[in-house]
Structure 1
């Protein structure tokens, strides 16, 4: 078996033709759907980017124990398991987060990898004395920043070097993937992951794509929405959305190059193709931009998934209603290559769904560390927030104390306790570090940036746009029981139950093995 996995970042499902998009044409996603099984109830797990990738690579949810962080020594890794079973894995990516402190143990799990530079805030090109007076005129104040080290600073510098379409990291990803296929398409037992940062913000695409989405906006470059409430003028909002559509059209065209290659070389007959994303993105819906700070609405949580399997080519163009989730990808990849699934994996292979639509999950849960736990049964979504979203009683569990671009603060580690193993750590003890105001993850994903933190219930059939939250004790009780079972299944720490106002199961950990002197007194 040979497998190609295409992972886009921040795909808004409802912007794709196969999921009902009207404002943009995505002919190559349409082509893909005609060749694949399209999954209509695929959901995120841990949020956002790197937590989602840990779910994908390990096959289990991690947001109950950890925020943004690297693969841990005890984690199961599907590319490592593939390699141990004689299956070559290769990663082609322009995703800069793999090469920062909080994600630096993911790409090295693959047999080989290639990194294409220049996306987002990649610390790539060196320009010691930029012409800031000129650059300030070019970019909207929302995305202009002269502070060294911040993402906008690096993007402004890098963007000067993206002049031709062949310079764009997205193009280079698919160029490099074609080179891999040229060299290896006549061999067997390989897994190719093509991972692109697009259409993640900034929504930077060649100008010809933007030409298809004209607006009345007349100002400096504005293609990087803030992570916050929509406060821009109508023309500015339209401009940002036009750039997202342009970037998505760019992604669609590059996907088409891969589909052309499959057509030209008859890869449909002997190569699996899976296409998905890590999470969605709010483009003004619910009066929000982006993700992380607000509730994980459907536009973020409910994501696309397309699966082509040569042995089930007769299912091309069909759809599935069964609930699936990001961690299900890992056991699916292992199943494609006849590899055993480790005991610690909680995801379920979706391969049986290619035969029939018998459910593999009754519910799925998803969330961001420190915020709500959300549960969905396909009909309802219940968002259960702590009564008070604070850092009190909030801990991270790790033996790899890095996050996003940063090492943990020394003060965090000075207050760390050693705790007994969880049931998925293979006997490894962990550091339990308290969340602090100065924790590096706090300015980005910490509790002080969460808004609209009210526990709510949504009926997805009657209210698919989630405009009318309500409460129903009978429905909520059923969903809370299901949520609690999923937390138990993932060995969630006892304090998470307490934060959510739920009774902890007997034996919920962790057991402290050491205690800081001030805490013991």
Structure 2
């Protein structure tokens, strides 16, 4: 068996024709849906980027114990497990977070990997004295705030001087204009075809093609932008702040058009992969998986982006399509059963007839491809410290913490790192060794109390929401505009949250954080 796993970042389900979109033509994603099995009720697990990838690689939820961070020494990575079973694993990616402190270990789990430079704030072009003022003149000032604009507003990671500088990196990378082939997504697929052509006669390999697009900044070649021209003539709008949407209708349309252009670019490159599958008759012996890590708000619910609001359907309900060579008459089928990001791990292993480790808490998708149940009835999802959402596919229930005090929820890890920085010495001074969890293979853990609220922990969401717990009926209200009151449903879904916490051997502090009670006798000494 050979497997190609294509992972785009921030690819909205509602942007694909196969999921009902009419705003963005996606002929190649739709072409794949005609052959593959399309999952209609697929959800994220942990958010955002690297927590989602830890879920994928390990078959367990990240957010029950820690925020964004590296792969842990005891983690079961599907890349390492496949390699140990004789399946060669290779990663091609332009996802810059793999190469920051908080992304360590994920790419290194593969037998080999290639990194494409230049996405987001990755400094591909180095200017010691960059033309920052010229850049600011070209872009909307709300996306590249000046110090004067920051006066009197609450400081966030999106308006700090450091992040204003980071936002200028992409423009600096394009000081010398890019041709179509210079865009990182194009380079990812070019490298992928090199791998595929070189290894087209080989068996037992796993290739992960991982593109940062259509993640912001929303930048695509002019030929794609022309397809969605809005007539807007103002400063460039390609990177909304992670804040409430205060833009005009004209500006919202332009930002959405820029996102659409990047999606169209991704669709074109994915189509080239489908062409390769056709030309090499690879459908007979090669599995192909297409998905994303999470969605992205484009003004819906009066918000931009993610991380600072509840995990609405636009963020949490994501696309997934799977082709397995022996699908047979099941090609083009739709699966309505509830599935989740963690379920990719046992699925990928199962495609290569490799058993899942006992620490996995996921459900393989392979039975669903044959019309059988997977065993999943509910899924929980969230960010560390933020609200926990539970869904059964019909209802989505957000349970909010009782406090936004970061010291109330310690982090359990052996890899103490945030997105970019290592844990501070001040925070590490609080660390203590505690007994092993059931997934750490006997290794004790560090329990660390964070001194500050960090955006990656989900604590920022709490500052933007004062409505308390909320329940939505997704059947009658898929846009999540009108919460309902149904105590019996909330009670049932709260029990489901507790069951997932228990299955993941969550620490006692997590139950207390959400006002939940752990089952009698389930708490062990040290936690």
Tell whether the structures are fold-level matches, with TM greater than 0.5: yes
Cα root mean square deviation, aligned: 1.5
Unaligned runs of 5+ in 1: 514-521
Q: Secondary structure at the match of 2:481?
A: coil
Deviations 1:92-138 (A, max 9, x none): 00000000000011000000000000000113321011223322221
Q: Answer yes or no: is the 8 Å Cα contact 2:27–2:267 preserved in 1.
A: yes
Matched ranges for 1:19-98 at <5 A: 19-98=19-98
Shift of 1:217: 1.9
Structure-1 residue corresponding to 2:486 = 472
Q: Which residue of 1 aligns with 2:137?
A: 137
The Cα offsets for residues 449-490 of structure 1, whole Å up to 9 and x where unpaired, read as 532252100001111111111221111111111111111000
2:319 maps to which residue?
Answer: 304
Give the drift of 1:510.
6.4
**1:412 aligned partner:** 427
Map of 1:452 onto structure 2: 465
TM-aligned CA deviation for residue 30 of structure 1 = 0.7
* Aligned position for 1:518: none
1:288-437 to 2 correspondences below 5 Å: 288-437=303-452
Match of 2:189 among 158, 174, 180: 174
**Partner-residue secondary structure (3-state), 1:80:** helix
**Contact conserved, 2:367 with 2:374, CA < 8 A, in 1?**
no
The 5 A counterparts of 1:201-220 are: 201-220=216-235
Residues 510, 435 of structure 1: alpha-carbon distance in 2 compared, 3 angstrom cutoff: farther
Residues 397-429 of structure 1: per-residue CA shift (max 9 Å, x gap): 111111101110111000112111111110111
How far 1:161 sits from its partner (Å)? 4.1
Indicate the residue corresponding to 1:158 in structure 2.
Answer: 173
Q: Give 1:389 deviation, angstroms.
A: 2.7
What TM-score do you get using the length of structure 1 for normalisation?
0.95
- 8 A Cα contact 1:493 1:510, kept in partner: no
Cα distance, 1:388–1:359 mapped onto 2, change above 3 Å: same
- Counterpart CA distance in 2 for 1:167 and 1:509 is 54
Distance 1:227 1:357 in 2: 41
SS at match of 1:212: helix
Give how far 1:153 is off. Answer: 2.7
2:119 is equivalent to residue 119 of structure 1: yes
Deviations 1:327-369 (A, max 9, x none): 1001111101111110000011101111005242010110110
Question: What is residue 498 of structure 2 aligned with on the other side?
Answer: 484
What is the CA–CA distance in structure 2 between the aligned matches of 1:507 and 1:55, rounded to whole Å? 28
SS in 2 for 1:407: coil
Could you tell me how far 1:388 is from its partner in structure 2?
Answer: 2.9
Equivalent position SS for 1:457: strand
**Cα distance in structure 2, aligned partners of 1:142 and 1:191:** 42
| 1:187 partner SS | coil
Give 3-state SS (helix, strand or coil) of 1:45's partner.
coil
2: distance between equivalents of 1:325 and 1:159? Answer: 37
Preserved CA contact (<8 Å) 2:135 2:168: no
The answer as to whether partners of 1:390 and 1:448 remain within 8 angstroms in 2 is no
CA distance 1:508–1:391, shift in 2 (3 Å): farther
Counterparts of 1:189-200 in structure 2, within 5 Å, are: 189-200=204-215
Q: Distance in 1 between matches of 2:374 and 2:345?
A: 18
Q: Is the 8 A contact 1:71 1:105 kept in 2?
A: yes
Residues of 2 paired with 1:429 and 1:467: CA distance?
44
In structure 2, which of residues 492, 505, 509 is the aligned counterpart of residue 495 of structure 1?
A: 509
Match of 2:396, SS state, is strand
Which residue is equivalent to 1:517? none
SS in 1 for 2:54: helix
Match of 1:60, SS? coil
Tell me if structure 1 keeps the 8 A contact 2:307–2:458.
no
Q: Distance in 2 between matches of 1:279 and 1:77?
A: 20
Structure 1 counterpart of 2:476? 462
Query: Quick check: 2:508–2:523 contact (8 Å CA) kept in 1?
Result: yes
- Checking the alignment, whether the CA contact within 8 Å between 1:122 and 1:155 is kept in structure 2 is yes
Query: Hey, what's the Cα distance between the residues in 2 that align with 1:357 and 1:223?
Result: 43
What SS does the aligned partner of 1:73 have? coil
- Structure 2 vs 1, CA of residues 170 and 510 (structure 1 numbering), >3 Å: closer, same or farther? farther
Helix, strand or coil at the partner of 2:4: strand
Q: How many angstroms apart in 2 are the aligned matches of 1:51 and 1:421? A: 21
**How far apart in 2 are the matches of 1:507 and 1:255?**
51
Cα distance in structure 1, aligned partners of 2:403 and 2:91: 41
**C-alpha distance 314-161 of structure 1, shift in aligned 2 (>3 A):** farther
Within 1, Cα distance between the matches of 2:74 and 2:4?
26
CA distance in 2, matches of 1:427, 1:7: 33
**Alignment coverage as a number of residue pairs:** 510
Is residue 267 of structure 1 aligned with residue 274 of structure 2? Answer: no
Alignment TM-score, normalising by the size of structure 2 = 0.94
